[in-house]
Copies of this chain bind each other. A is one copy, B any other.
Amino acid sequence: MSDHAGRVLGAVLYPNFELLDLYGPLEMFGCVGPDLRIVTVAGEPGPVASWPGPTTVAEFGFDDCPHLDLILVPGGVGTRSQLDTPIISFLRDRAPAAEVTMSVCTGSALLAKAGLLDGRRATSNKMVFDFARSQGEKVDWVEEARWVEDGPFVTSSGVSAGTDMALSVIARLFGRERADAIATLTEYEWQSDPGRDPFHRFLNQMMS
């Protein structure tokens, strides 16, 4: 696929990532077709187990990963173990060159730890919100939002919110018609209003 002419999306894996944080967005981005190539990347290439077990293969390690136009950082129970690993410097190196950097759920804690969200608006999983907050004191954390877009950074709330966010990024890059068509194709009722957040009332109920 070295002759690929479109954008490249890198899905960043680490042990005990949350399945739907990764695969809700990848379903939607996968439907974009040849304009977008999806690659998986982790510290080292090879299998990476999700939190409930099913294992995804990372095609690339951080050292041999191609240029990424889009970066997707899932969250999950494994996030906490990644705060002092090479993923932080990988994100710090790669995000400035990317067109869009996205996080789902606690993935924004990793972007915050890398300093990438300083001075920007961002959100995270509602139920463990203060965990993300603790990783970035200079971030303008938005408690009530399905997702938040600030320049090249788009951060979503927990798990399923990432799928809605992904469609919004598809609309931004490829047009609203394409996003609507993908939602229909996948029989998905897209919640396209980033400010509508029925889960805000559970703020920090599962601490941390």
* Number of chain copies forming the complex: 2
Q: Assess whether A161 is in contact with B189, with CB atoms less than 8 Å apart.
A: no
Interface residues of A in 184-208 (CB under 8 A from B): 184-189, 191, 198-199, 202, 206
Task: Let me know if A103 is at the binding interface, CB within 8 A.
Answer: no
Task: Let me know if A107 is at the binding interface, CB within 8 A.
Answer: no
Q: Assess whether B188 is in contact with A159, with CB atoms less than 8 Å apart.
A: yes
Across-interface contacts of A22 in B (CB, < 8 A): 23
Task: Let me know if A26 is at the binding interface, CB within 8 A.
Answer: yes
Question: Residues of A within 8 Å of B, CB-based: how many?
Answer: 45
- Give the interface centre of A55, A157, A159, A187 by most chain B CB atoms within 10 Å: A187
Binds B, one of A45-53, A81-89, A172-180: A45-53
Closest B-chain residue to A24, C-beta based? B20
Across-interface contacts of A186 in B (CB, < 8 A): 20, 158-160
Given contacts A23-B23, A24-B24, contact A185 B127 (CB under 8 A): yes
